[in-house]
Structure 1
Amino acid sequence: MKRLPPLPALHTFLITAQHCNFTRAAQQLHITQGAVSRQIAGLEEHLGYALFQRQARGLTLTREGQDWLPRVQQVFTLIEQGVREVGGRSATLQVKAPTCVMRWLLPRLMEWQALRPDVPVELTTTVQHGVDFRREGFDAAVVYGAAPNHGLQVRKLFDEQLTPVCAPTLCNRPLQLPDLARQMLLHPSRDEHDWRLWLQAAKAGFEPQGPKQHFETLDMAMAMAAQGTGIAIGDFALIGDDLRAGRLIMPFELKVATGKSYYLVSPSKTLPSGLAELMDWLARQAQPL
């Protein structure tokens, strides 16, 4: 039986079909236009046919897209109905997390919801790496950086370890360190700090002279690397699922610890049972790393 398409991509299709415009869909979904385009392209690849016709003046639904639209609308109508009817049975945990950790966190939250539907979680993503519980009404948050020391409930998830990653199609032969001088390097930030740190630890002894691209988030750099655009500097702790699925490979064994880590924190002095279970469960999921 063919694997079902991912729910987030179906939601993106629904919003895009309502507007027939990537830009307006991106504004409603609070993501970039490129992210909308990639999700639609991924859904079309999964299904095996086009859902939209791309035209100079905008988008139009294909016949298959027109057939899909009422079905997807029905699915999300049922979900919204379930939220209204079931939502009162258990308080929803509000969790905040930076976009850079989504590749690891989101699949595990989906697994948690399958295991514990009685403890629902609502996830808010942000480009920020911290949280201010005095001003933000979250039950818990994933933070990145130094160990928190403000009297919070803390579960350490994993340490950041930098390593280059790329699509398997980009490596027709084993890469050697000097090859990086000419390759397209993908940077998750404008300062290029992560690549410089890794190259220094690898004793590269050269400055990259090839083309490069900068992205606003680590997740965007990883997504472009998976498409074969170039070689990104990634966090080993966050790419395990991509490595196992064969979307990404590590052309070099060296992993460089930055001294920064990811932590799951909560302001509650005494954790409610559902929140305590969720935090402990996520910490156990991170232990193999």
Structure 2
Amino acid sequence: MKRLPPLPALHTFLITAQCCNFTRAAELLHLTQGAVSRQISGLESHLGYALFQRQARGLSLTPQGRELLPRIQQVFNLIDEAVEQVGAKQREALQLKAPTCVMRWLLPRLMQWQAERPDVPVELTTTVQYGVDFRREEFDAAVIYGTQPGTAQVAHHLFDEQLTPVCSQQLMDGPVPLTSTADLARHTLLHPTRDDEDWKTWLRAAGVTLDKLGSGHHFDTLDLALSVAAQGNGVALGDWALIGEDLATGRLVAPFDLKVPTGGAYFLVYPERPAPSPQLRELSDWLIAEAHSKTARA
């Protein structure tokens, strides 16, 4: 049986082929340029053919090098996937990241999931950030908000953002009820962002102009604005997909029928590689079904 080339030399070939420069490859591999050159020469000697053409301004792959490169890439991808899958099996819980604004929808469903599937626990990390970088963050999956998911990840659409004003029943029963959109001028507006854009979007769609739009209270998160609204201290904008529980319990009421889509949406995402574990796929399918269920969002 022919002896296989050493794995470190194949890895050095892979990195060198990606940048076609011994100096840059040495920096990436934390080796000296001479060590990289010797490993490539030793690999070429072992294989019996040249992998690179040495040129004055750098390197270029030979026909044999170009043919070998995608196969070596596939080998190392398989190794990465195997290591990740074995490591994932050793973790006791699925690691999930989500922005605080989606907690009203997500947290009750994760509690239901844990009650039904205690054998597949989930550890949730909340953040004010709307995205995730799986290259730097060790999460199995994430719920993100935006207009378009990033690359190198599998994305499942959960629901679109639709804004509508919400307040407490106490405010509705007070001396200045909200019987028309014009009544908003006599109430404190609670802003979930610093730029007033959410209210501007809704008021524009409603055909309403307010002279002192930014004179209300501003908050760093949607959750804070909704909490203050529930206490009867103003009118906030709620995302229709996220406030179902608040409306069902009477904690909040929606005085108007108009729901304005913003173009933003919520997605469940996980890395393309490695392939999701059976547990993650099951949780993903369950959350997607919940999001697409009208009764679950009402």
User: TM-score, normalization: structure 1?
Assistant: 0.67
Say whether residues 1:119 and 2:120 are aligned partners: yes
Give, in angstroms, the shift of residue 149 of structure 1: 4.4
Runs of 4+ that moved beyond 3 A: 208-211
Verify the 8 A CA contact 2:178 2:184 in the aligned structure 1.
Answer: no
Determine helix, strand or coil for the equivalent of 1:222: helix
Verify the 8 A CA contact 1:166 1:225 in the aligned structure 2.
Answer: yes
For residues 209 and 151 of structure 1, the distance between their equivalents in structure 2, rounded to whole angstroms, comes to 40
For residues 258 and 212 of structure 2, the distance between their equivalents in structure 1, rounded to whole angstroms, comes to 18
Determine helix, strand or coil for the equivalent of 1:178: helix
For residues 124 and 93 of structure 1, the distance between their equivalents in structure 2, rounded to whole angstroms, comes to 11
Gaps of 5+ in 1: 1-87
Q: Partner residue of 1:110?
A: 111
For residues 265 and 223 of structure 2, the distance between their equivalents in structure 1, rounded to whole angstroms, comes to 17
Q: Partner residue of 1:150?
A: 151
| 2:207 pairs with one of 183, 203, 211 | 203
Give, in angstroms, the shift of residue 91 of structure 1: 2.4
Determine helix, strand or coil for the equivalent of 1:237: coil
Identical positions, percent: 58
Gaps of 5+ in 2: 1-88
- What amino acid sits opposite 1:272 in the alignment? S
Give, in angstroms, the shift of residue 176 of structure 1: 1.1
Verify the 8 A CA contact 1:98 1:128 in the aligned structure 2.
Answer: yes
Q: Partner residue of 2:244?
A: 240
Q: Partner residue of 1:159?
A: 160
Distance 1:114 1:204, change over 3 A: same
Distance 1:229 1:91, change over 3 A: same
Verify the 8 A CA contact 1:155 1:280 in the aligned structure 2.
Answer: no
Structure 1 or 2, whichever has the larger Rg, is 2
Verify the 8 A CA contact 1:182 1:211 in the aligned structure 2.
Answer: no
Verify the 8 A CA contact 2:157 2:267 in the aligned structure 1.
Answer: yes
User: TM-score, normalization: structure 2?
Assistant: 0.65
| 1:283 pairs with one of 242, 266, 288 | 288
For residues 209 and 219 of structure 1, the distance between their equivalents in structure 2, rounded to whole angstroms, comes to 20
| CA deviation string 1:41-94 (max 9, x = no partner) | xxxxxxxxxxxxxxxxxxxxxxxxxxxxxxxxxxxxxxxxxxxxxxx9962100
For residues 130 and 217 of structure 1, the distance between their equivalents in structure 2, rounded to whole angstroms, comes to 15
Distance 1:98 1:210, change over 3 A: closer
Distance 1:89 1:134, change over 3 A: closer
Verify the 8 A CA contact 2:152 2:272 in the aligned structure 1.
Answer: no
